[in-house]
Chain A
């Protein structure tokens, strides 16, 4: 076989509603997340202000409440006869505050009785796109939490943004699951999880973290993952 053509974009909506000269840093995970989300829901906000993103800032509505510090939120009406709103939370972990980190935003959303709650990472783009689609089609209010690694804040090279998003899932630090009316389902299952150490050592902000702390972190990661597995 001399040359095969897989061409990933065949599985994607082709129109681009975002990305014509935005002012984000290079290798921005948030810009990539917003771009992938807009590929699905772009038609609905075409008339809105986000068509010229560089002028108005790409980070959406910055919130000051304690639960969502260091994230940006996006509220959109579903339209097309489907009632309800979709809330998308792009989490770039902008504030390294213990009170914020301790709170687990998706589980807060589950407690608030959202009909559809999902977590997604930019390391798994097709999983992300599927979740946005199902969130748009399901009736009732829905919530999506998207992990967007930020090279500037986290302290890694701009070319390893996608790698960071993938490592977060592969080390079970950020499991991908969805909750449809209270029923849990893990969408991406990792047969052989990697060490949490790999994920932490990638980030410059954990430079001073000792080995004992990493042990503790990996224990809490395992505990949190076990909690989700029990609910499935």
Chain B
């Protein structure tokens, strides 16, 4: 019982939104290690229609300060729906370094 309680305390301290909990009382941050591709915007082609925002299943796309869209890479899984749905071809998928 004491072990379980300790684990709970530790998890509560280190965990963030979107992390994954491991068995060895460790907390692993979400996704970037697993993601293969990430979306990159070409702002010259973008018309700010917002279709990428509408169709993102992870709700990772948000409007930046300059009015163009960008992906929150903590949430993005690199599925490529935004790339497929963009009418103007302003999004390209780049391999994760």
Interface set of A (CB-CB < 8 Å, partner B): 3-10, 12, 16, 18-24, 26-29, 31-32, 35, 54, 125, 157-163
A26-B77, A159-B81 are known contacts. Are A19 and B58 too (CB-CB below 8 A)?
Answer: yes
Contacts of B81 in A (CB 8 A): 27, 158-159, 161-162
Cross-chain contact A8 with B58 (CB below 8 angstroms):
no
Chain A, interface SS category: loop
Chain B, interface SS category: loop
Encode contact with A along B58-84: 1 for CB under 8 Å, 0 otherwise: 111001000100000011011111011
Q: Shortest distance in angstroms between A153's beta carbon and chain B's nearest beta carbon? A: 15
Query: How far, in angstroms, from A160 to B83 measured CA to CA in the complex?
Result: 10
Choose from A9, A158, A159 the contact partner of B50 (Cβ within 8 Å).
Answer: A9
A-B contacts, CB under 8 A, total: 84
Choose from A10, A24, A32 the contact partner of B55 (Cβ within 8 Å).
Answer: A32
Cross-chain contact A54 with B18 (CB below 8 angstroms):
yes
How many residues of chain B have a CB within 8 Å of chain A? Answer: 31
> Is B94 among interface residues, defined by CB-CB distance under 8 A?
no
Query: How far, in angstroms, from A28 to B51 measured CA to CA in the complex?
Result: 17
Cross-chain contact B57 with A19 (CB below 8 angstroms):
yes
Choose from A4, A16, A27, A54 the contact partner of B57 (Cβ within 8 Å).
Answer: A27
Cross-chain contact B48 with A6 (CB below 8 angstroms):
yes
Query: How far, in angstroms, from A28 to B55 measured CA to CA in the complex?
Result: 11
Contacts of A35 in B (CB 8 A): 57, 59
Q: Nearest 10 A-B pairs (CB), nearest first?
A: A21-B18, A19-B59, A159-B80, A27-B79, A8-B50, A26-B77, A32-B57, A26-B79, A31-B57, A158-B79
